[in-house]
Amino acid sequence: MRYELYYWPHIPGRGEFIRLALEEGGADYVDVARLPEQQGGGRAAVQRMLEAKSGGRPPFAPPILKAGRLVICQTANILQYVGPRLGLVPKAAAARLWAHQLQLLVADLLVEAHDTHHPIAKSLYYEDQKAESLRRAENFRSLRLPKYLGYFERVLGENPGGDGGFVGSSLSYVDLSVFHLMAGLDYAFPRTMARLKPAHPKLTALCERVPERPRIAAYLASPRRMPFNQHGLFRHYPELDGE
How many CB atoms are located within 10 Å of the residue 120 CB? 13
pLDDT of 165 reads 93
Per-residue DSSP letters for the chain? Answer: -EEEEE--TT--TTHHHHHHHHHHTT-EEEEGGGS-GGGT-SHHHHHHHHHS--TT----SS-EEEETTEEEESHHHHHHHHHHHTT-S-SSHHHHHHHHHHHHHHHHHHHHHHTTT-SS-TTS-GGGGHHHHHHHHHHIIIIIHHHHHHHHHHHHHH-TT-SSSSSTTS--HHHHHHHHHHHHHHHH-HHHHHHHGGG-HHHHHHHHHGGGSHHHHHHHTSTTSPPP-TTSSS---GGGGT-
The residues pairing with 71 across neighbouring beta strands, listed in sequence order, are 66
Residues (pLDDT < 70) of the chain are 162
pLDDT of 55 reads 83
Tell me if 191 sits within 8 A of 243, measured CB to CB: yes
pLDDT of 160 reads 79
Domain annotation for the chain: domains and CATH numbers: 2-85 (3.40.30.10), 93-213 (1.20.1050.10)
pLDDT of 117 reads 98
pLDDT of 162 reads 63
